[in-house]
Structure 1
Amino acid sequence: MIDFRNEDCMIGMARYPDKYFDLAIVDPPYYSGPERRNYYGQKVSKTGVFRSYNPSTRQWTVPDKTYFNELIRVSKHYIIWGCNYFDYPFQCGRIIWDKCNGKSTFSDAEIAATDLSRTVRLFPFMWNGMMQGKSIEEGRVAQGNKKLNEIRIHPTQKPVALYEWLLTKFAEPGWRIIDTHVGSGSSLIACSRMGYEATGFEIDIQYYLSAAKRIEEDERNNSTNQIDGQISIWDYEEII
């Protein structure tokens, strides 16, 4: 069951008791900018990606300690992307996503903090414009058929394969998952495919509707992978 809401995550998390979720997998914004129109320049990147995901949306709010305290209150464990940008006493475990992006001007890797390990784990998966990894097992190899590439609908979108690997590596069957900043919907797609109960929040209505459509389309295309095939998309009230 996927419960996806167009809501401020701080309001949403306040409804849940302590440690209700088994695992938080979150990717909060660590600076404001990508949400602004034409932030990345031309509509088509140098690597051939059409930036149709870049409407002008509400300004991103960088979370403070209040957010992290609340996230840890409702979650038994966490995986928090962008941990290197936040001043918060995360546990020592780290997950590195190597984007295998060659000479790209973007970061070579992204870092997550986790309390599920005391070591550093590496996941290589190509994510450089039209060059996307072939599979979890062959993440350094580019997908040959570009028609199989994930369509980008969000400026900081992460691949579904990354979340599938995280769930395989760190989660246990039956765990409840929470994502406070759903964005493109990749995390919820992975949870749906793998049969995890998940709750997600997305405050921006444009991204919410785009992600909801993407999640529903993936469920239709991968119906044999579902436990119950149910997704709860809540009617929105635009948040002022």
Structure 2
Amino acid sequence: MSAWLNRVHCEDALHGFARIPDGTIDLIIADPPYGLGKDYGNDSDKLEAAAYLRWTEQWIDAALPKLKPNGSLYIFLTWRYSPEIFVMLKQRMTMINEIVWDRRVPSMGGSTRRFSSVHDTIGFFAKARDYHFDLDAVRIPYDAETKKARSRSIFVGAKWLELGYNPKDVWSVSRLHREHRERADHPTQKPLEIIERMVKASCPPDGVVLDPFMGSGTTAVAARRCGRNFVGFELNPEYCELIETRLMALDKPEEAA
């Protein structure tokens, strides 16, 4: 097994990409700093707009050669920068979807000078038309009432009815509040439900998922739980320790991911 595989390297991805041979990654899941001044234990999220976009282009151009010809990319973004970054990526890949993550933020407080922002934007891009996508792995089952309503003979045995429907491009999944059983000590941790959907749909079994900004390690946990390999990078040593703790917990029966 390659020395770089199934490891989170505690270093800057821009340096660490050199560890990974080109054309070896099935899926990139990127949750970079949003350029909003969050505290990740360093200054990684404190760039001005122009510098932030230059940095984004730099890491994208370093990461994309690592993808296999039929590989794909999901990138989490804020609405503030998604238009510019989507244009940047569309010059390099084919855009498959813009996904809206509805974080289910309670209707309380917020600005009085604009509408409250309660979503993240996710871009789904592919290198080629034959990109890997396993819809059956992520179908959402219909409830018994819906199945009963589709009991006419023309529906009997229909695959879509038995396996479920295609997830839409608005994903309503609660953010991880402080009391959530998944929650680790990280300010922008993403739910496993979202990351596992990406992994199951866009990375084949035994494939490799790359996360350039591992954060709390949810991509590594999701890959392990879904039978995929992973590789990632994280600047903050404390988060690197957190990731190792979460991965070790997967081997314990009482683990709650």
TM-score (norm 1): 0.68
Matched, 1:64 2:61: no
Deviation at 1:83, TM superposition (A): 6.5
TM-superposed CA distance for 1:221, in Å, is 3.7
Equivalence map 1:196-211=2 (5 Å): 196-211=228-243
Look up the match of 1:237.
none
- Between the aligned partners of 1:120 and 1:19, the Cα distance in structure 2 is 30
1:82 corresponds to which letter in structure 2? L
Compute the displacement of 1:172 (Å): 2.1
Aligned to 1:113: 123
Residue of 81, 87, 100 corresponding to 2:76: 81
Q: Secondary structure at the match of 1:173?
A: coil
Q: Does 1:34 align with 2:29?
A: no
Give the 5 Å matches for 1:1-240: 2-35=6-39, 57-61=41-45, 62=52, 63-75=55-67, 76-82=71-77, 84=79, 85=81, 87-88=84-85, 89-90=88-89, 91-92=94-95, 93-103=97-107, 105=110, 107-116=117-126, 121-127=169-175, 129-130=177-178, 149-221=181-253
For the 8 Å contact 1:100–1:125, the answer to whether it is kept is: yes
Distance in 1 between the 2:216 and 2:176 partners?
Answer: 17
Mark the CA change 1:220 to 1:32 in structure 2 (over 3 Å): closer, same or farther.
same
Find the residue that maps to 1:112 and give its secondary structure: strand
Which is helix-richer, 1 or 2? 2
Deviations 1:137-176 (A, max 9, x none): xxxxxxxxx6x62123111111111111112233222321
Name the count of aligned residue pairs. Answer: 187
RMSD over aligned CA atoms reads: 2.7
Change in Cα spacing, 1:115 to 1:83, as seen in structure 2 (3 Å) is farther
Displaced runs of 4+ in structure 1, greater than 4 A? Answer: none
CA distance in 1, matches of 2:168, 2:63: 22
In structure 2, C-alpha distance between the alignment counterparts of 1:97 and 1:222, rounded to whole Å: 29
2:48: which partner in 1?
none
1:101 and 1:128 in contact (8 A); partners too: no
For the residues of structure 2 that align with 1:189 and 1:219, how far apart are their CA atoms? 11
Once the two structures are aligned, what percentage of the paired residues are identical? 23
Q: CA deviation at 1:33?
A: 2.3
- Secondary structure in 1 matching 2:251: helix
1:22–1:222: structure 2 CA closer, same or farther, 3 Å change rule? farther
Please give the TM-score of this superposition, normalised by the length of structure 2. Answer: 0.64
**Which has the greater radius of gyration?**
2
* Aligned 8 A contact 1:192 1:219 in 2: no
Q: Which letter maps to 1:124?
A: S
